[in-house]
A and B are shown apart, each in its own frame.
Chain A
């Protein structure tokens, strides 16, 4: 099983749609979880951390299920500017050793 696994997509959705990304991780000792966004030919930028109780930031909602070792990101009311690759990131247990999924590509169409 890969350490961090994501559906690569692409997800092609119309503006205004709700879209959900899933991510599974293999290390049950992982304690820190993040979603990063990466635009084409740019560096990744932190979108949001993922907390045990779930958290929301505007149109974005992140959920964590430790029992299933599963993280999700929900985007409501998709905008054209949401088009990017979304990276699921999990710490591997060592300080700063964050492990990246391969990313899920989202394309929002008008």
Chain B
């Protein structure tokens, strides 16, 4: 069964609105979670590393004020896309695990469409 749950799986919103995506680790505590974005026919791109109890670490070129990350507990990280624009339309995936050489477990992704 799934060990990482992501919600919602699909969302359509209007330009200018904000969208929150949740990522939960189900069977384990995750001090670190990762947020990726994937455009059609492109590879996964790491956006940011979410750290429980502290600020997220953003990859170069990712606007931290636009993509707000909150990791308030050991099992939940949220990504909020603020003031969404059509170019933010993408597939957003979270993951957890990966410590000490173990593989990452992925959420089932959120397909965001901004109209």
Contact = CB atoms under 8 A, between A and B. Distances in A.
Contacts of A97: 49, 98
B32 interface: yes
B43 A43 contact: no
A96 B32 contact: yes
Where chain B touches its partner, the secondary structure class is: mixed
A41 interface: yes
Given A42-B108, A95-B32, A96-B34, A49 B103 contact: yes
Interface string A25-61: 0000001101000000111111001000000000000
Contacts of B34: 96
B98 A102 contact: no
Contact of A98 (B43, B104, B111): B104
A31 B91 contact: no
Contacts of B91: 41
Interface of B: 32, 34, 42-44, 49, 91, 93, 97-109, 111
A46 B100 contact: no
B99 A96 contact: yes
Contact of B93 (A43, A87, A96, A98): A43
A66 B97 CA distance: 24
Given A102-B43, A103-B43, A95 B98 contact: yes
A70 interface: no
Contacts of A101: 43
Nearest to B110: A43
Contacts of A42: 108-109
A97 B95 CA distance: 11
Given A41-B111, A95-B98, 17 more contacts: A31-B101, A32-B101, A32-B103, A34-B103, A42-B108, A43-B107, A43-B108, A44-B44, A87-B44, A89-B104, A96-B32, A96-B34, A96-B49, A96-B104, A97-B49, A97-B98, A100-B44
A63 interface: no
